[in-house]
Amino acid sequence: TTQQKMARTHAGAFFYFAILQVLRCNAFGNGAPESACESMLPGHKGYQPQPSPSPYNISVSAKSFKNGQPINVTITGQNYQGLLLEAQMYGIKSSLGSWMMPPLNTKFLKCSGNPKGAITHSNTEIKTASTVYTWMPPETNCPPVITFKATVAKLKSQYWVNLTSEVLWRDQTATCGAEMFMWSVI
């Protein structure tokens, strides 16, 4: 019947649209893949990182860190659609600490085995310099120095990789240091 043919046509069109949506999501519009954690490359097929200086900077709320004290991080500059943001020991490509509740339009990304080791975008909605990401240092084995690393995408075709914040030193009152010394009198 005509109604059955129309129903099949509508079902086919719906199925085709659903497949297109899945393919669109696989283009990383819904966040960086875990494979980007070390390289910081987003995997935007057909596009390369921008060779020009980045219009973005990573701003942090403190000059030092210690366990139990959150650090607020912002990406300053132009509005952006995508990002990958991690805290790393200076010179080591492994994420460190944990991110707190991701802001709107972002989510956690498992990096270095840590389910909250990085933040990435959850869609391509605009993020601004007022978007605040909150990081918590590890409770144990804090390195002496960390930096925040980011890849920021203005658009899928226009992104900058390996942006680095200023160095943050472990606060002298931190109790999470890897090197704990015990002095004794002999």
Lookup: tokens for 139: 């409770």
Amino acid, res. 161: V
How far, in Å, CA of 55 to CA of 155, rounded? 13
pLDDT tens digit at each of 186 positions of the chain: 666 655 565 545 444 443 334 334 344 578 999 999 999 998 888 999 999 999 999 999 999 999 999 999 999 999 999 999 999 998 888 899 999 999 999 999 999 999 999 999 999 999 999 999 999 999 999 999 999 999 999 999 999 999 999 999 999 999 987 554 443 444
Distance CA 12, CA 9 (A): 5
Cα–Cα distance between 58 and 77 in angstroms, integer? Answer: 9
Our CA angle for 35, 37, 39, nearest 5°, is 85
Q: Please answer whether residues 122 and 107 qualify as being in contact, where contact means their C-beta atoms are separated by less than 8 angstroms.
A: yes
- Total-model pTM: 0.80
Closest CA to 62 of 150, 165, 138, 141: 165
Query: How many CB atoms are closer than 10 A to CB 56?
Result: 21
Distance in angstroms (rounded) separating the CA atoms of residues 33 and 92? 20
Q: What is the pLDDT of residue 186?
A: 47
Residue 124 corresponds to which amino acid? Answer: T
